[in-house]
Every structure is written in structure tokens, then in C-alpha cells.
């Protein structure tokens, strides 16, 4: 009876989102815990099977840091961004475009999906430009932001019933590779693809109030008030701004959810209660 109840609860959401694109930024604990990794792969496979079009953009900061440490190269961060010299960029590309990307692809395929791994360098997907630290002067090396996105390769994969899995690497005008924040890539990609939803997996329960209760159903105006009064601060600010940019650019809703919860994506998308913070466009 419980299984039947769950399925009937999910049906209206499946019907509503059938044929729609959902961009998922995959990171945090969900990427390192083996049970959560397998659960995420099954969730994405299920989404595709019932008619949604999931597009996965993944991070890999802890894995990059771990390999750099094994190589005896220290990690340096400024304003939360990894300083990326040429040697570090080689490791970033190896980890993001190789190890992490192919691990996710393999897990989805093992779950019965048809995943294809690529980076922003493939098919001229992501054109990027270098950025500096917040002071506008400090050089971060090969760290970039999205200049433009050509979604043709992603749309081609979607139309062929594949699940795109994208590493957040871009190409500068001079041809150099740039490391880009995965949240920013996911947000821009959701806008260009005219996605129904942007989902950001995090290691928190979403936006919390003073009593540590999860806030949801927020409008951009309400989010602005929460930023102004300090409820939203610190590491949550970049994710919230990414979500706001997406909904201001045509994405119907953005979700900030707890990737530490098993099957968090399904619970947020296909249940009445959800498990995180929903920011709607209006």
C-alpha cells in the first residue's frame, strides 16, 4: 500500500514535467558516499525513464584536492576559488573530465540509463573567459566564468534519449582551458536550455531561518529580504544568487536541496513536501 501511495503521489508531477529539461548540479557528500552515489544514479535513470530530460553538471573539488595532495602540491584558495596554475589545471582536467565524469557515467549506465560524459570543451559547449579575485586584481590563474554556451551537443544527446553528464571546463578565446564553478555552469546551462528546473545539491538542508527550519516556496523578493537581514549569508550566498539568476532568466524554479538525503532529487521533484528550498520565478 505504501508503494502504491508513493506512485500515485508522484504521478501528477511526472505528467507535469514530462518532456521538460531538469539541470542538476551534482556535488558535495552525494558525490563521495557510495550509497548516495548509487542512489543518485538510479534517480537520474528513473527521471529519464518516466519522460523527463535530466542534465547533470558535476563538481569535484574534494577529489581534485586529494590528488593534488598525493602529488605533493598544496591547494590555495582565494575568495573560495581554487588558484589554478598550469600544473593544477592538468590535475583539474584529469579529475573532472576523466575520473569523476566517467565514474558518474558508469554508475548511471549500470543503473540502466544511457549516460554520455563530456566537458564544456566538447562541441564548443562552453566559451569562457578568465576572472580575477573579488578585489579585481589578484590573478587566480586558469579560473574562468561562462561567456557563452552553445547547447547543440546537449540537445542532440537529449533527443537521442541519452543523459548528458558535464564537467565544468571551458575554453578561453586563446584556446586555454579554464576551470569554472559548477554551480555557475549549471545555472547558465539551465537558462540556455530553457529548463523547467535547476536543482543544486548541497551539504545543507537549504535556506534555514533563525530556528533552523527550512524555508521554501520563496520568491525573488523574499530572497532579497532574507539576504538583507542576514538570514542568507556566507557560503549559501553564491548558490542563492545562481538560483536567482536562473529564475530571472526564464527557468521556472530553482531548488537548493540536501544531497546527504538518499533520493533527494526524487523527493524534491515528485512529492508534495519536498526536501529543500524552492525558489520560484514569481
Going by the annotation, the residues of the binding site for substrate are 60-61, 82, 179
Residue ranges in the chain assigned as alpha helix (H): 2-17, 34-49, 61-70, 86-93, 101-110, 152-159, 182-192, 220-228, 236-248, 264-270
Those residues whose C-beta lies under 8 Å from the C-beta of residue 42, and which sit 6 or more positions away, are: 111, 263
Rounded distance between C-alpha atoms, residue 264 and residue 40, angstroms:
8
Three-state secondary-structure class, residue 30? helix
Rounded distance between C-alpha atoms, residue 95 and residue 106, angstroms:
15
Rounded distance between C-alpha atoms, residue 119 and residue 127, angstroms:
11
Rounded distance between C-alpha atoms, residue 95 and residue 249, angstroms:
31
Annotated binding site: 60-61, 82, 179
Rounded distance between C-alpha atoms, residue 77 and residue 24, angstroms:
25
Which of the 8 DSSP states describes residue 75? Answer: -
The β-bridge partners of 254 are 198, 279
Amino acid at each position: 500500500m505504501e508503494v502504491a501511495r508513493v506512485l500515485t503521489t508522484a504521478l501528477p508531477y511526472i505528467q507535469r514535467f514530462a518532456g521538460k529539461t531538469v539541470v542538476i548540479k551534482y556535488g558535495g557528500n552525494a558525490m563521495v558516499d557510495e550509497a548516495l552515489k548509487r542512489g543518485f544514479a538510479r534517480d537520474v535513470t528513473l527521471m529519464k525513464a518516466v519522460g523527463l530530460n535530466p542534465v547533470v553538471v558535476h563538481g569535484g573539488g574534494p577529489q581534485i584536492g586529494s590528488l593534488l595532495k598525493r602529488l605533493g602540491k598544496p591547494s590555495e584558495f582565494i575568495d573560495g576559488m581554487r588558484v589554478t596554475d598550469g600544473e593544477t589545471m592538468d590535475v583539474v582536467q584529469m579529475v573532472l573530465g576523466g575520473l569523476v565524469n566517467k565514474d558518474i557515467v558508469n554508475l548511471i549506465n549500470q543503473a540502466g540509463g544511457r549516460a554520455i560524459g563530456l566537458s564544456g570543451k566538447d562541441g564548443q559547449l562552453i566559451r569562457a573567459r578568465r576572472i580575477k579575485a573579488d578585489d579585481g586584481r589578484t590573478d587566480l590563474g586558469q579560473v574562468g566564468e561562462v561567456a557563452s554556451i552553445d547547447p547543440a551537443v546537449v540537445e542532440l544527446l537529449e533527443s537521442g534519449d541519452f543523459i548528458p553528464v558535464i564537467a565544468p571546463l571551458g575554453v578561453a578565446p586563446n584556446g586555454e582551458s579554464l576551470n569554472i564553478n559548477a554551480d555557475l555552469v549549471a545555472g547558465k546551462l539551465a537558462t540556455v536550455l530553457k529548463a523547467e528546473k535547476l536543482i543544486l545539491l548541497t551539504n545543507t538542508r537549504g535556506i534555514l531561518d533563525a530556528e533552523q527550519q527550512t524555508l521554501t516556496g520563496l520568491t525573488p523578493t523574499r530572497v532579497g529580504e532574507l539576504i538583507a537581514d542576514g538570514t542568507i549569508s556566507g557560503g549559501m550566498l553564491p548558490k542563492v544568487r545562481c538560483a536567482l539568476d536562473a529564475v530571472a532568466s526564464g527557468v521556472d524554479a530553482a531548488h537548493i536541496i540536501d544531497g546527504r538525503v538518499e533520493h533527494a532529487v526524487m523527493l524534491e521533484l515528485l512529492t508534495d513536501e519536498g526536501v529543500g528550498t524552492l525558489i520560484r520565478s514569481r
